[in-house]
Structure 1
């Protein structure tokens, strides 16, 4: 059977573009000549589109939109407290509306979702970190599975994510270039398979490796909240741990927090201690949630494109529905948003 990849190679476009054209995506912007080339190539190769395949079924089946399920590792109250994960879900839901797909949500912070719900859907998009056992269970009970904001390290599994190790290095190298010498890290322990793994979270592990390579690692400058899944990276933890770090005999001159919620908590602790940002201490973080640019001063943070991660997850799932049989892993680039919570290179001279 002819695949979307073969059509994409023949026309010189991406597989995603071919999938969107053949699925009549009205939001796709491209030249009519290129769109026609894709359609004519597909016809010449006798590609059987999902629409044509559906015609072999009943008329009722042909008229039904794809039914998808979002599986989330947080419960609704925990998700709404973190604008980043709200952004991932909104990206999925908006893209599903564009593609005329119905989507339902299955939150499962303490267990696994309903297997019958997954089996009855055309495909499943899974948000967040899951264990190897959970991944195997999800793949067993769903026709197609795509992981959003998580890399299962399995090239048979579709996933879309940002590399948090690379993102952490962006912050640390910037802080070093800006003249900061004693950099602290505030985050959370890694929680997976019911066990807490201290220093296992990717941002924290990268920070420790970088500090050791620089020859200035100080274990006192790593403070982690020891909390379970869905209870990590919270504002109150950032506040509490920042107060603790600022009480050290030799406090840091910059703090990196593992997300913007923790950074907001750290802002409060810094201000309560009578310190000025960035004159006395710099602070940088991850996610670039909407409020980050409105803090006083605005927060330097790594922008992780949450909605694009969600949108791309839907595109990957539709590629599977269109016939792709091999796994794809997509890495979404991050951006360091430089704002006034840190000095810039040369400012300390």
Structure 2
């Protein structure tokens, strides 16, 4: 939990001043600039004021169940989903809301446990049967990292279709034409197929689906590199797969990016420390989790109109690919 003392140290004022600003004390004499600095520091440090914490409890948000579409061991190998869950948990901690984790198994979650919670945040893609079941057994339901095809349900996600389009446009501007993709067949894969087809560059031998782990990236990259005309750049579903792709490329005696480029999705912390550092699409995992909690707070507070929120992604160019225009990252 962030303390008033930490915020005060960041801005250069006393803890008492921070407390009075965050609790909207009208008798406090302080410059507008300093007031804004305190508020911005509190937001940056993810601090919840006593007023906000009380608001959560007063509105009946005391306990959330997090229903994950992955098993625990699957989540641990994908830092993106760890970050998303931590975003939910840190926001709940700031609001003093209890969380209970429910991971994917071969059986449905305990309905009584879900019904005892103020609401459920469902993490990741759920099929129609799972969505219907969750709706029947929860008071309030919000989806994180998934946009359900139902105008009565809340969800927050990043636009993977648009993110893939942006990446492909920039890779094309960097001079790449034979662009491969490995990973699950989700929105980013669908976007890849459509964009490459429209560009006249699609080759089904350059499109491989498989599990989104480091080992999956290694295996699929090894298969693609056996082609008579290997790709100029490989896009992987996530950064874990990119690590496997790096290993396969190095075992072939090839150089990144001189012989082949690699680009990916998620921008987990390890991406910047690979050799060479990995070009990737930054997806706002923690922010998705935090926003899901805010949607739940609104729902519990009485909001009836559903919200579907899309958060922006951004391209992070590093040394595993050429830059648009043909240069190399510094």
Which TM-score band (shorter chain)? 0.7 to 0.9
2:168 alignment partner in structure 1: 172
1:22 corresponds to: none
| Offset, 1:347 | 2.6
Deviation at 1:244, TM superposition (A): 0.8
Matched, 1:223 2:208: yes
What residue number does 2:289 align with?
310
Deviates more, 1:136-145 or 1:108-117: 108-117
Answering whether residue 247 of structure 2 is matched by residue 268 of structure 1, we say yes
Cα shift at 1:348? 6.1
**In the comparison of the two structures, how many residue pairs are matched?**
286
Q: C-alpha deviations, 1:230-282, integer Å up to 9, x for none?
A: xx311111101111111101111111111111111000011111111111111
**Whole-Å separation in 2 of the counterparts to 1:289 and 1:50:** 30
Match of 1:205 in 2: 190
Deviates more, 1:65-74 or 1:319-328: 65-74
Aligned 8 A contact 2:254 2:260 in 1: yes
2:157 corresponds to 1:142: no
How do residues 289-304 of structure 1 correspond to structure 2 at under 5 angstroms? 289-304=268-283
**Matching residue of 1:253:** 232
- Equivalent residue for 2:256, pick from 277, 280, 302: 277
Tell me if the contact between 2:141 and 2:153 (Cα under 8 Å) persists in the aligned partners. Answer: yes
Distance 1:254 1:30, change over 3 A: farther
Give 1:30 shift.
10
Residue in 1 that maps onto 2:128: 132
Structure 2 residue 162 is the aligned partner of structure 1 residue 183 = no
Give the match for residue 343 of structure 1. Answer: 322
Residue of structure 1 equivalent to 2:95: 99
CA distance in 2, matches of 1:270, 1:242: 7
Deviations 1:74-113 (A, max 9, x none): 1211111110000010000000011111111111232321
CA distance in 1, matches of 2:221, 2:253: 13
Q: Distance in 2 between matches of 1:284 and 1:128?
A: 23
CA distance in 2, matches of 1:317, 1:31: 25
Contact conserved, 1:65 with 1:100, CA < 8 A, in 2? no
Q: CA deviation at 1:297?
A: 0.3
How far off is 1:32 after superposition? Answer: 6.8
Residues 53 and 169 of structure 1, relative CA distance in 2, 3 Å threshold: closer
- Please give the alpha-carbon distance, in whole angstroms, between the structure 1 residues aligned to 2:100 and 2:190: 35
Q: Distance in 2 between matches of 1:220 and 1:237?
A: 17
C-alpha distance in structure 1 between counterparts of 2:217 and 2:260, whole Å: 15
Q: Distance in 1 between matches of 2:23 and 2:189?
A: 42
Shift of 1:179: 0.4
Instruction: State the TM-score, normalizing by the size of structure 1.
Output: 0.77
**For the residues of structure 1 that align with 2:316 and 2:310, how far apart are their CA atoms?**
19
Instruction: Mark the runs of 5 or more structure 1 residues left unpaired by the alignment.
Output: 1-25, 36-48, 56-61, 190-200, 226-231
Instruction: Tell me the secondary structure at the aligned position of residue 298 of structure 2.
Output: helix
Q: CA RMSD in A?
A: 2.6
Q: Please show how residues 45-84 of structure 1 align to structure 2 within 5 Å.
A: 66-84=62-80
Residue in 1 that maps onto 2:46:
none
**TM-score, structure 2 as length reference:** 0.81
Matched, 1:88 2:84: yes
Q: Distance between the aligned counterparts of 2:163 and 2:262, measured in 1?
A: 15
